[in-house]
Protein backbone atom coordinates (compact mmCIF):
# COMPACT_ATOMS: atom_id res chain seq x y z
CA UNK A 1 0.00 0.00 0.00
CA UNK A 2 1.02 3.65 -0.64
CA UNK A 3 0.72 6.51 1.77
CA UNK A 4 -1.98 9.06 0.99
CA UNK A 5 -0.44 11.92 -0.91
CA UNK A 6 -1.78 14.77 1.25
CA UNK A 7 0.41 13.57 4.14
CA UNK A 8 3.56 13.82 2.01
CA UNK A 9 6.81 14.26 3.80
CA UNK A 10 5.01 15.60 6.86
CA UNK A 11 3.49 12.20 7.48
CA UNK A 12 6.91 10.56 7.40
CA UNK A 13 8.23 13.09 9.93
CA UNK A 14 5.22 12.59 12.17
CA UNK A 15 5.71 8.83 12.02
CA UNK A 16 9.36 9.19 12.99
CA UNK A 17 8.54 11.48 15.89
CA UNK A 18 5.69 9.33 17.25
CA UNK A 19 7.17 5.91 16.48
CA UNK A 20 6.04 2.62 17.94
CA UNK A 21 6.14 2.23 21.67
CA UNK A 22 6.31 6.04 22.32
CA UNK A 23 3.91 7.47 24.92
CA UNK A 24 4.90 11.12 24.31
CA UNK A 25 3.23 13.73 22.03
CA UNK A 26 -0.29 15.23 21.86
CA UNK A 27 -3.57 13.51 20.97
CA UNK A 28 -3.55 14.78 17.38
CA UNK A 29 -0.09 13.42 16.84
CA UNK A 30 -1.18 10.08 18.26
CA UNK A 31 -4.20 9.93 15.95
CA UNK A 32 -2.09 10.81 12.93
CA UNK A 33 0.40 8.13 13.81
CA UNK A 34 -2.37 5.56 14.12
CA UNK A 35 -3.76 6.53 10.69
CA UNK A 36 -0.45 6.14 8.89
CA UNK A 37 0.21 2.85 7.13
CA UNK A 38 3.43 1.09 8.22
CA UNK A 39 4.85 -0.02 4.88
CA UNK A 40 8.65 0.33 4.69
CA UNK A 41 8.88 0.94 8.43
CA UNK A 42 10.92 -1.42 10.55
CA UNK A 43 9.44 -2.15 13.97
CA UNK A 44 11.79 -1.82 16.88
CA UNK A 45 12.61 -5.17 18.44
CA UNK A 46 10.92 -5.87 21.72
CA UNK A 47 13.18 -5.51 24.72
CA UNK A 48 13.79 -9.04 25.94
CA UNK A 49 12.79 -9.79 29.48
CA UNK A 50 15.65 -11.47 31.28
CA UNK A 51 14.75 -15.05 32.14
CA UNK A 52 14.68 -15.83 35.80
CA UNK A 53 17.38 -18.41 36.34
CA UNK A 54 16.74 -21.07 38.89
CA UNK A 55 19.71 -22.07 40.95
CA UNK A 56 20.87 -25.51 39.88
CA UNK A 57 20.33 -28.06 42.60
CA UNK A 58 23.57 -29.95 43.07
CA UNK A 59 23.26 -33.70 42.63
CA UNK A 60 23.56 -35.89 45.65
CA UNK A 61 26.85 -37.76 45.21
CA UNK A 62 26.34 -41.15 43.57
CA UNK A 63 29.35 -43.33 42.78
CA UNK A 64 28.74 -45.97 40.10
CA UNK A 65 31.16 -48.82 39.46
CA UNK A 66 31.68 -51.02 36.39
CA UNK A 67 34.05 -53.82 35.56
CA UNK A 68 35.25 -57.22 36.67
CA UNK A 69 36.05 -59.00 39.92
CA UNK A 70 38.39 -56.24 41.14
CA UNK A 71 35.78 -53.47 41.51
CA UNK A 72 33.30 -56.18 42.52
CA UNK A 73 35.51 -57.00 45.50
CA UNK A 74 35.95 -60.59 44.33
CA UNK A 75 38.50 -63.21 45.19
CA UNK A 76 37.11 -63.84 48.66
CA UNK A 77 38.16 -60.46 50.05
CA UNK A 78 35.02 -59.88 52.15
CA UNK A 79 36.13 -56.28 52.42
CA UNK A 80 35.18 -52.79 51.30
CA UNK A 81 35.90 -52.70 47.56
CA UNK A 82 37.52 -49.62 46.07
CA UNK A 83 34.22 -48.30 44.64
CA UNK A 84 32.71 -48.07 48.12
CA UNK A 85 36.04 -46.99 49.62
CA UNK A 86 36.18 -44.05 47.22
CA UNK A 87 32.57 -43.19 48.09
CA UNK A 88 33.64 -43.07 51.73
CA UNK A 89 36.38 -40.58 50.82
CA UNK A 90 33.81 -38.46 48.99
CA UNK A 91 31.60 -38.57 52.08
CA UNK A 92 34.46 -37.44 54.30
CA UNK A 93 35.41 -34.59 51.96
CA UNK A 94 31.89 -33.35 51.26
CA UNK A 95 30.20 -33.98 54.58
CA UNK A 96 27.44 -36.02 52.93
CA UNK A 97 26.94 -39.74 52.48
CA UNK A 98 26.98 -40.64 48.77
CA UNK A 99 25.05 -43.48 47.26
CA UNK A 100 26.82 -46.41 45.60
CA UNK A 101 25.62 -48.51 42.65
CA UNK A 102 28.22 -51.12 41.79
CA UNK A 103 27.52 -53.05 38.60
CA UNK A 104 30.90 -54.81 38.48
CA UNK A 105 30.65 -58.57 37.86
CA UNK A 106 33.36 -61.14 38.49
CA UNK A 107 34.59 -62.69 35.25
CA UNK A 108 33.10 -59.99 33.03
CA UNK A 109 34.81 -58.58 29.94
CA UNK A 110 34.81 -55.17 28.28
CA UNK A 111 32.08 -56.43 25.92
CA UNK A 112 29.94 -57.34 28.93
CA UNK A 113 30.44 -53.82 30.30
CA UNK A 114 29.25 -52.34 27.01
CA UNK A 115 26.21 -54.63 26.98
CA UNK A 116 25.23 -53.56 30.50
CA UNK A 117 24.46 -50.09 29.24
CA UNK A 118 21.38 -51.43 27.45
CA UNK A 119 19.79 -52.30 30.81
CA UNK A 120 17.26 -49.72 32.00
CA UNK A 121 18.34 -49.96 35.65
CA UNK A 122 21.96 -49.37 34.69
CA UNK A 123 21.06 -46.46 32.44
CA UNK A 124 19.01 -44.84 35.21
CA UNK A 125 21.93 -45.11 37.64
CA UNK A 126 24.32 -43.65 35.07
CA UNK A 127 21.99 -40.72 34.46
CA UNK A 128 22.01 -39.90 38.18
CA UNK A 129 25.71 -40.55 38.81
CA UNK A 130 28.24 -37.96 39.87
CA UNK A 131 31.24 -40.33 39.65
CA UNK A 132 31.67 -43.40 37.43
CA UNK A 133 34.59 -45.77 38.03
CA UNK A 134 35.57 -48.29 35.33
CA UNK A 135 38.05 -51.17 35.56
CA UNK A 136 37.66 -53.78 32.85
CA UNK A 137 39.62 -55.58 30.13
CA UNK A 138 41.89 -58.08 31.88
CA UNK A 139 39.51 -61.00 31.36
CA UNK A 140 39.45 -60.28 27.63
CA UNK A 141 43.06 -61.53 27.52
CA UNK A 142 42.59 -64.91 29.23
CA UNK A 143 42.80 -67.08 26.11
CA UNK A 144 45.54 -65.03 24.49
CA UNK A 145 47.60 -65.12 27.70
CA UNK A 146 47.22 -68.88 27.99
CA UNK A 147 48.68 -69.25 24.49
CA UNK A 148 51.44 -66.70 25.04
CA UNK A 149 52.44 -68.28 28.36
CA UNK A 150 53.09 -71.51 26.45
CA UNK A 151 55.32 -69.79 23.93
CA UNK A 152 52.87 -68.17 21.52
CA UNK A 153 53.72 -64.77 20.12
CA UNK A 154 52.38 -62.00 22.35
CA UNK A 155 53.08 -59.59 19.50
CA UNK A 156 50.50 -61.40 17.38
CA UNK A 157 48.06 -62.55 20.07
CA UNK A 158 47.56 -59.36 22.07
CA UNK A 159 46.93 -56.54 19.54
CA UNK A 160 43.50 -57.83 18.37
CA UNK A 161 42.40 -58.13 22.00
CA UNK A 162 43.70 -54.65 22.76
CA UNK A 163 41.75 -53.22 19.82
CA UNK A 164 38.55 -54.84 21.09
CA UNK A 165 39.09 -53.55 24.63
CA UNK A 166 39.77 -50.04 23.38
CA UNK A 167 36.70 -50.05 21.13
CA UNK A 168 34.38 -51.50 23.79
CA UNK A 169 35.47 -49.12 26.54
CA UNK A 170 35.38 -46.11 24.21
CA UNK A 171 31.88 -47.03 23.00
CA UNK A 172 30.69 -47.61 26.56
CA UNK A 173 32.00 -44.26 27.78
CA UNK A 174 30.40 -42.50 24.80
CA UNK A 175 27.07 -44.04 25.83
CA UNK A 176 27.65 -42.95 29.41
CA UNK A 177 28.39 -39.40 28.31
CA UNK A 178 25.25 -39.35 26.16
CA UNK A 179 23.23 -40.29 29.24
CA UNK A 180 25.07 -37.96 31.61
CA UNK A 181 27.36 -35.19 30.41
CA UNK A 182 28.32 -34.01 33.89
CA UNK A 183 29.41 -37.22 35.61
CA UNK A 184 33.13 -37.57 36.21
CA UNK A 185 34.29 -40.74 34.46
CA UNK A 186 37.42 -42.52 35.69
CA UNK A 187 39.18 -45.35 33.82
CA UNK A 188 41.53 -47.42 35.97
CA UNK A 189 44.34 -49.57 34.65
CA UNK A 190 45.74 -52.76 36.22
CA UNK A 191 48.80 -53.30 38.39
CA UNK A 192 48.80 -56.69 36.62
CA UNK A 193 46.32 -58.26 34.24
CA UNK A 194 47.19 -61.72 35.56
CA UNK A 195 48.82 -62.96 38.78
CA UNK A 196 51.43 -60.80 40.44
CA UNK A 197 53.72 -60.59 43.43
CA UNK A 198 54.99 -63.68 45.21
CA UNK A 199 52.27 -65.87 43.71
CA UNK A 200 53.27 -65.04 40.15
CA UNK A 201 56.94 -65.58 40.98
CA UNK A 202 56.01 -69.07 42.16
CA UNK A 203 53.49 -70.00 39.44
CA UNK A 204 55.08 -68.55 36.31
CA UNK A 205 58.20 -69.66 34.50
CA UNK A 206 60.20 -67.13 32.49
CA UNK A 207 57.97 -67.47 29.41
CA UNK A 208 54.76 -67.06 31.35
CA UNK A 209 56.18 -64.14 33.33
CA UNK A 210 57.14 -62.35 30.12
CA UNK A 211 53.67 -63.06 28.72
CA UNK A 212 52.08 -61.64 31.88
CA UNK A 213 54.14 -58.45 31.80
CA UNK A 214 53.35 -57.93 28.11
CA UNK A 215 49.67 -58.63 28.78
CA UNK A 216 49.50 -55.93 31.46
CA UNK A 217 51.22 -53.41 29.18
CA UNK A 218 48.80 -54.22 26.35
CA UNK A 219 45.71 -53.98 28.55
CA UNK A 220 46.75 -50.70 30.09
CA UNK A 221 47.64 -49.13 26.76
CA UNK A 222 44.17 -50.00 25.43
CA UNK A 223 42.54 -48.44 28.50
CA UNK A 224 44.70 -45.33 28.25
CA UNK A 225 43.72 -44.83 24.61
CA UNK A 226 40.03 -45.23 25.46
CA UNK A 227 40.35 -42.65 28.23
CA UNK A 228 42.11 -40.21 25.93
CA UNK A 229 39.55 -40.69 23.17
CA UNK A 230 36.66 -39.83 25.48
CA UNK A 231 38.23 -37.29 27.82
CA UNK A 232 37.86 -39.60 30.82
CA UNK A 233 40.29 -39.41 33.73
CA UNK A 234 42.95 -42.13 33.70
CA UNK A 235 44.10 -43.46 37.07
CA UNK A 236 47.00 -45.89 37.25
CA UNK A 237 46.81 -48.65 39.84
CA UNK A 238 50.04 -49.95 38.26
CA UNK A 239 51.87 -46.91 39.59
CA UNK A 240 50.01 -47.03 42.91
CA UNK A 241 50.90 -50.70 43.50
CA UNK A 242 54.30 -51.05 41.83
CA UNK A 243 55.79 -47.58 41.62
CA UNK A 244 56.63 -45.53 38.56
CA UNK A 245 59.27 -47.97 37.33
CA UNK A 246 57.21 -51.08 38.17
CA UNK A 247 59.87 -52.48 40.51
CA UNK A 248 57.93 -52.37 43.79
CA UNK A 249 56.76 -55.69 45.26
CA UNK A 250 52.97 -55.49 45.64
CA UNK A 251 52.49 -58.82 47.44
CA UNK A 252 51.21 -57.10 50.60
CA UNK A 253 48.38 -55.47 48.60
CA UNK A 254 47.13 -58.75 47.15
CA UNK A 255 45.01 -61.61 48.38
CA UNK A 256 46.55 -65.12 48.63
CA UNK A 257 45.52 -65.82 45.03
CA UNK A 258 47.92 -63.11 43.82
CA UNK A 259 45.18 -61.89 41.50
CA UNK A 260 42.89 -59.65 43.56
CA UNK A 261 43.48 -56.77 45.97
CA UNK A 262 43.24 -57.37 49.70
CA UNK A 263 41.60 -54.75 51.97
CA UNK A 264 44.77 -52.63 51.93
CA UNK A 265 44.93 -52.88 48.13
CA UNK A 266 41.37 -51.61 47.72
CA UNK A 267 42.16 -48.66 49.97
CA UNK A 268 45.26 -47.87 47.89
CA UNK A 269 43.14 -47.83 44.72
CA UNK A 270 40.54 -45.56 46.32
CA UNK A 271 43.26 -43.19 47.49
CA UNK A 272 44.81 -43.17 44.00
CA UNK A 273 41.47 -42.04 42.55
CA UNK A 274 41.09 -39.38 45.23
CA UNK A 275 44.63 -38.14 44.58
CA UNK A 276 43.78 -37.52 40.92
CA UNK A 277 40.19 -36.41 41.50
CA UNK A 278 39.72 -35.04 45.04
CA UNK A 279 36.20 -34.10 46.07
CA UNK A 280 35.03 -31.43 48.47
pLDDT digits (tens, 9 = 90+) for 30-52: 333 333 333 343 334 444 444 44
Residue 93: CATH number of its domain: 3.40.50.1110
What gap in Å lies between CA 260 and CA 253, rounded to an integer? Answer: 9
- Are 143 and 234 within one domain? yes
- Are 94 and 7 within one domain? no
Mean pLDDT of 225-239: 98
Query: Strand order of the sheet with strand 99-102?
Result: 99-102, 62-67, 131-135, 184-188, 233-235
- Are 25 and 125 within one domain? no
Task: For residue 154, tell me if it sits in a domain.
Answer: yes
Radius of gyration, CA atoms only, the chain: 32
What is the pTM (predicted TM-score) of this model?
Answer: 0.79
Task: For residue 26, tell me if it sits in a domain.
Answer: yes
Task: For residue 55, tell me if it sits in a domain.
Answer: no
Identify the DSSP state of 244. Answer: T
Task: For residue 54, tell me if it sits in a domain.
Answer: no
Task: Name the strand (E) or helix (H) holding 81.
Answer: none
Checking 209-214 for CB contacts under 8 A at 24+ apart, the result is 210/154, 211/145, 211/148, 211/149, 211/154, 212/145, 212/149, 214/148, 214/154, 214/158
pLDDT surpasses 50 at 249: yes
Number of independent structural domains in the chain: 2
Show the DSSP H helices in 75-205 as ranges. Answer: 82-94, 110-116, 120-128, 142-149, 154-179, 197-203
Q: Greater confidence, 2 or 242?
A: 242
Q: Give the pLDDT confidence score for residue 39 in this predicted structure.
A: 37
- Are 212 and 256 within one domain? yes
The band of 59, judged by pLDDT with boundaries at 50, 70 and 90, is: confident
Q: ∠ CA 65-180-132 to the nearest 5 degrees?
A: 20
Task: For residue 220, tell me if it sits in a domain.
Answer: yes
Mean pLDDT of 103-125: 98
Identify the DSSP state of 139. Answer: G
CA 173 to chain centre: 6
State the CB neighbour count (10 A cutoff) for residue 53.
Answer: 6
Task: Name the strand (E) or helix (H) holding 204.
Answer: none
- Are 12 and 131 within one domain? no
Specify burial of residue 57 (Cβ count, 10 A radius: 0-12, 13-18, 19+): exposed
Q: Give the pLDDT confidence score for residue 118 in this predicted structure.
A: 98
- Are 33 and 150 within one domain? no
- Are 140 and 200 within one domain? yes
Contact 210, 152 (CB under 8 A): no
The CA dihedral of 26, 28, 31, 33, to the nearest 10 degrees, is -70
Q: Give the pLDDT confidence score for residue 96 in this predicted structure.
A: 80
SS3 state at 246: coil
Q: Give the pLDDT confidence score for residue 277 in this predicted structure.
A: 82
Task: For residue 267, tell me if it sits in a domain.
Answer: yes
- Are 24 and 95 within one domain? no
What gap in Å lies between CA 16 and CA 18, rounded to an integer? Answer: 6
Mean pLDDT of 218-229: 98
Task: For residue 49, tell me if it sits in a domain.
Answer: no
Q: What is the pLDDT of residues 61-92, one digit of tens each?
A: 999 999 999 999 999 888 999 999 999 999 98
Show the DSSP H helices in the chain as ranges. Answer: 8-17, 27-35, 69-72, 82-94, 110-116, 120-128, 142-149, 154-179, 197-203, 206-230, 237-242, 263-276
Task: For residue 56, tell me if it sits in a domain.
Answer: no
The band of 278, judged by pLDDT with boundaries at 50, 70 and 90, is: confident
* Percent of the chain predicted with pLDDT > 70: 79
- Are 86 and 35 within one domain? no
What gap in Å lies between CA 157 and CA 168, rounded to an integer? Answer: 18
- Are 195 and 257 within one domain? yes
- Are 97 and 156 within one domain? yes
Least confident of 14-23, 56-65, 93-102: 14-23
Domain assignment of residue 40, given as a range: 1-44
- Are 154 and 230 within one domain? yes
DSSP per-residue string spanning 108-125: --HHHHHHHTTSHHHHHH
Q: What is the pLDDT of residues 159-195, one digit of tens each?
A: 999 999 999 999 999 999 999 999 999 999 999 999 9
Amino acid sequence: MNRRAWFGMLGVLVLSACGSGSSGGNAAGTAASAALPTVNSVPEPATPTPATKKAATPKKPLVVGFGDSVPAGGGGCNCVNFVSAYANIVAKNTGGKPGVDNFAVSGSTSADFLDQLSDSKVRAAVADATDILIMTGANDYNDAFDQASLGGSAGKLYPPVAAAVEDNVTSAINKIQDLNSTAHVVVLDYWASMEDGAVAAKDYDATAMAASIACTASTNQALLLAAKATGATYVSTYTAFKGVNGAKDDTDLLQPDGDHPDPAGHQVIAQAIAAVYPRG
